[in-house]
Amino acid sequence: MLLGVNIDHVATLRNARGGIAPDVIEAAVVCEKAGADAITVHLREDRRHIKDADVEELKKILYVRLNLEMAATEEMQKIALRLLPENCCIVPEKRQELTTEGGLDVAGQLDKLTAFVKPLVDAGIVVSLFIDPSREQVAAAEKTGAQYIELHTGRYSEAFGTPTEEAEFQKLKDAADYASILGLGVNAGHGLTYENVHRMKEIQCLNELNIGHNIIAKALFDGLDIAVKEMKELIK
C-alpha cells in the first residue's frame, strides 16, 4: 500500500508565528526521502494552513506526486488547472470545521461534480472524491468520471478499540470492494494512526492511504524521517 503524507500541520505550526519556520518545503523533501509516495496538501478556502505559494513551490520541487486536496469551487479548479498537480482529491469544506468532517455528498450533487471533475481529468489530473463508505456514494462517484475515491476513515478511527469498530471497518471494506468492482481506484484516509492503521491491510484493493496529523504528532518526538518510515513499514 502506498503512503501519501499530509503536511498541512507543518504549515499550521509555521503560521502560528507568521514566519517561515518550520519550512513546509523542507518537510516535504524529508517525507519524500523517507519513502512517502505522495505529498498531500489541502489548500483551504480560508488558507488556514497551506498557502498558494506552498502549492506552487511543491509542484516545482517534488519528485513524488503532489496530491492537492480542495473544495469543488471555481477558484480551486482554476488553481488546479494552472498548476497541474498529479492528483486532486475533492473534499467538502465548511469554514467553521476543525478538519474535514464528512465525505462529499456526490449522489446529491452529481451534475455539479461531474462538470467540476471533467476539465481536471481532461487536463491529465487523476481525480479522487472523498466520500463516506456507502455504496450509494461509490456508485455516484463512478458516474462523475473521477478515476478514484478516497474513503473517509474517520468513523472507523473513532470506533477503533470499541464495540462499533467491526461495523465501521466492514463499511469501509464493503465500499472499497464495490468501488473496485466498478473499476474505481480506492484510497483512504482521515484520523488514521500508528495504532489503527494495520486493519487497512485487510482491504486488498486499497491503493494509497493519506495520513497527516498522527505522523506530524509523532515527528515532534521522533523526527519526521522516522515518523514516515515507521508508517511506511506498518502499511507495507
Residues lying near ligand PXP in the complex (CB under 6 A) are found at 6, 8, 42, 69, 89, 91, 99-100, 130, 150, 189-192, 210-214
- Nearest-angstrom CA–CA distance, 233 and 229: 6
Are 107 and 143 in contact, with CB atoms under 8 Å apart?
no
Rounded to a whole number of angstroms, the minimum distance from the CB of residue 183 to ligand PXP is: 21
- CB nearer to ligand PXP: give 5 or 83: 5
Looking at the Cβ atoms of 49 and 173, the one nearer to ligand PXP is 49
**CA–CA separation, 113 and 106 (whole Å):** 7
CB of 99 to ligand PXP, least distance (A): 5
CB-wise, 32 or 150, nearer to ligand PXP?
Answer: 150
Shortest Cβ 188–ligand PXP spacing (Å): 8
| Nearest distance from C-beta of residue 3 to ligand PXP, angstroms | 11
Sign of the CA dihedral with 105 first, then 68, 149, and 230 last = negative
Q: Which residues are catalytic?
A: 42, 69, 190
Q: Which is nearer to ligand PXP, 173 or 190 (CB)?
A: 190
Calculate ∠ Cα 206-209-210, nearest 5°. 150
CA pair distance 23, 20, nearest whole angstrom: 6
Dihedral Cα 121, 124, 125, 128, nearest 10 deg: 40
Q: Alpha-carbon distance 24 to 149, whole Å?
A: 27
- Considering beta carbons, is residue 130 or 160 the nearer one to ligand PXP? 130
Question: Smallest distance, Å, CB 201 to ligand PXP?
Answer: 17
Residue 78 CA, distance from chain mean position: 20
Cα distance between residue 187 and residue 109, in whole Å: 21
The cell for 88 is 486532486
Nearest to 132 by CA among 191, 86, 197, 77: 191
